[in-house]
A and B are shown apart, each in its own frame.
Chain A
């Protein structure tokens, strides 16, 4: 017995590291019950600081720049397609190139630009800063996440250079056509696309793990969930959605890769192709559609929820007013997130389904409009009697509300089976989804970049250039997409690379096509202004004061601006309130930062909203 005791003691001293030899952070400053400070990785060389960085701020910027670079390619592709549509007589594009460009444009914009920019870019930049953490929970995994994304982008771009070119199956990649002869890139491009998506999902999972754990576990003292900025709520909920939705994409991609490479029959039915009977049999193309849209619909909200969150904060800061109905906004974000998993089949009405099934999905689709409408009302009520500053972020936020409302209303049309079936394959749908998940989130991204640019560079972006950029982008997008609604109503089919001289198509639509294309070229070119502003202002921009927008949230309260490695200097911030105390009666300033102790604002009377 005593032997065993000794043995235990010995073993204990052997295997347990001496507490003093393990570096423990200085916790003198905090009471005993508190959590120890996070241990950080400190870089020593240029490579580990700027390239293989483990600092979430740098990773966020890396993500954002990579995503924007890829997005520019998507933009150029849209130019090429629009020139073809407006001037089919030029023989500008082959039909196969047109389909390839449509596919790559769609996939790049949805996944590699918007998802990566909102979650990878803004998520990494803002989550640690707004929550009051020093960094993400697992910085090394965070770095891996970014580099997996880079490899995914490179694989995607490589598909332009393989024989047969990139896939032309449409961004939905429906089998059997995606991997059957006759579709552009059916044996090379599609494989690279699928591999790229698999890599993206793997990389995103690593990043998403970080976002979730950091938001849940690494917040500053006093930062309860219901004191978090709505930006964080949006990004957090979107990340949770992504963690549940991306596996569906992964399953679909893996099984289609096997169908294509090995010749299995997960999705491929028995087919005759080019006069030959294929070896596949019994596969279910509809199964892929279900998997794809089980990912694809939450994906819409993966993009939209961060935009909702960010725009709420921008509106509140730039109208100097508490966000209207904070709790309702949080509930709406969570509710939309939950509901988004029960609406996917509304993308498949024309694939054919049991009428009751369609009825169910039409109902859920219309129900999801309720929390969404609550959000729109709350944004407007936030503006109501606010001290509205028409700064750049505010302009873009206002543009977002209008655009999102517009795209949301056409969504209500399309959610109904009977309305959707005739409109489904027309430009009406193109107009709808570009408004609601193209232009609207992009406007928020611009607003957010103008808003947080001083935080990143310490300088302001040029206001005049920004205003020109806003008006061209905002009015230009309406010039592009409003006519498309009309084109859809008169029955112009989408996915056609040329309409020819069909007697069923009104000639006015041909003229409209030219008009739209000119607008596309102008709006696209206006983005060069933005890019110039983005890069030039880093050197030439007006020096920004600390907290230039007089915001309350923690990212502006760091000891240095731009924040340094570790964000918070010696002591982590302590939070006493939510980030929406603007224009509080009795307070000296019209804003009370989240970390300002109550003793400094004794006269202030915070009102319930």
Chain B
């Protein structure tokens, strides 16, 4: 049951050798010692990272053409960024409470996170509204188009997160979870929240710096 093996060690095993056969017969069937949900989330995050990296590459490539005109960053975007940061912190707190089994506080945290996530989405929509009203259409410059595209894709990821947050929270409130599952699921949602914060910081930073 060697879990600490690196991919290279795994690939160089010699499955025909006697020692290896004995060790292999005891293998429990899992490659890594984490829950399938957690590994699933990591897979999705890896795919999302590729997706956002390709957007960043496309952005950096397109930026070099001379028709590029920067768009302003409304102060509300900073505010929304703040909301995301706070919701990540609260989620971190929620995982701590869940681990210590202070479940009432966990519940409050979860509610607050939901409120923050919806506020973030509404905040982003208000930013859109403001920008459109001041004439920054997606068609008027490609920088604007990238802004709308990035916020949409990031927003869709947030909506996906809200779906799983909702499932976790409702199961939690209905008390239909085992203790390990509570920790596992809240952990997973928290990691995803941190991931989306990082993605947003990268995208926002990219748009600020150009």
Question: Of the candidates B11, B139, B175, which one forms a contact with A226 in the assembled complex, judged by CB atoms under 8 Å apart?
Answer: B11
In the complex, whether A291 has a CB less than 8 A from a CB of chain B is yes
In the complex, whether B209 has a CB less than 8 A from a CB of chain A is no
Q: How many residues of B contact A (CB 8 A)?
A: 56
Known A213-B40, A251-B51, A282-B66: A258·B30 in contact at CB below 8 Å: no
Give the residue name and chain of the B residue nearest to A19 (CB): B178
A294 surroundings in chain B (CB, below 8 A) = 54
B28 surroundings in chain A (CB, below 8 A) = 33-35, 221
- Complex Cα gap A432–B136 (Å): 48
- Complex Cα gap A281–B67 (Å): 7
Question: Of the candidates B58, B100, B142, which one forms a contact with A291 in the assembled complex, judged by CB atoms under 8 Å apart?
Answer: B58
- Complex Cα gap A209–B148 (Å): 28
Identify which of A10-18, A93-101, A390-398 touches chain B: A10-18
Do B139 and A263 have beta carbons less than 8 Å apart?
A: yes
B126 CB → nearest A CB, Å: 21
Identify which of A77-85, A242-250, A301-309 touches chain B: A242-250
A244 surroundings in chain B (CB, below 8 A) = 46-47, 50
Identify which of A150-158, A327-335, A401-409, A476-484 touches chain B: A327-335
B 173-210 binary contact with A (CB < 8 Å = 1; else 0): 00111110010000000000000000000000000000
- Complex Cα gap A330–B13 (Å): 11
- Complex Cα gap A84–B19 (Å): 64
Do B16 and A609 have beta carbons less than 8 Å apart?
A: yes
B175 surroundings in chain A (CB, below 8 A) = 14-17
Do A222 and B58 have beta carbons less than 8 Å apart?
A: no
In the complex, whether A127 has a CB less than 8 A from a CB of chain B is no
A248 surroundings in chain B (CB, below 8 A) = 50, 54
Give the residue name and chain of the B residue nearest to A609 (CB): B16
In the complex, whether A145 has a CB less than 8 A from a CB of chain B is no
Do B30 and A205 have beta carbons less than 8 Å apart?
A: no
B 39-54 binary contact with A (CB < 8 Å = 1; else 0): 1100110111011001
In the complex, whether A381 has a CB less than 8 A from a CB of chain B is no
A 333-347 binary contact with B (CB < 8 Å = 1; else 0): 010000000000000
B203 CB → nearest A CB, Å: 14
In the complex, whether A264 has a CB less than 8 A from a CB of chain B is yes
A 259-293 binary contact with B (CB < 8 Å = 1; else 0): 00011111000000000000101111001000100
Do B31 and A216 have beta carbons less than 8 Å apart?
A: yes
Known A244-B47, A251-B58, A608-B16: A213·B178 in contact at CB below 8 Å: no
In the complex, whether A218 has a CB less than 8 A from a CB of chain B is yes
Do B31 and A217 have beta carbons less than 8 Å apart?
A: yes
Do B40 and A209 have beta carbons less than 8 Å apart?
A: yes
- Complex Cα gap A14–B103 (Å): 9
Do A243 and B102 have beta carbons less than 8 Å apart?
A: no
In the complex, whether A65 has a CB less than 8 A from a CB of chain B is no
B13 surroundings in chain A (CB, below 8 A) = 224-226
A225 surroundings in chain B (CB, below 8 A) = 10-11, 13, 31
Do B61 and A287 have beta carbons less than 8 Å apart?
A: yes
A350 surroundings in chain B (CB, below 8 A) = none
In the complex, whether B165 has a CB less than 8 A from a CB of chain A is no
Do B11 and A16 have beta carbons less than 8 Å apart?
A: no
In the complex, whether A64 has a CB less than 8 A from a CB of chain B is no
Known A11-B102, A287-B61, A334-B11: A247·B47 in contact at CB below 8 Å: yes
Q: What are 14 A-B pairs with beta-carbon distances under 8 A?
A: A8-B102, A12-B103, A137-B40, A218-B30, A219-B29, A219-B31, A222-B26, A247-B51, A251-B54, A251-B58, A283-B65, A334-B11, A578-B16, A606-B16
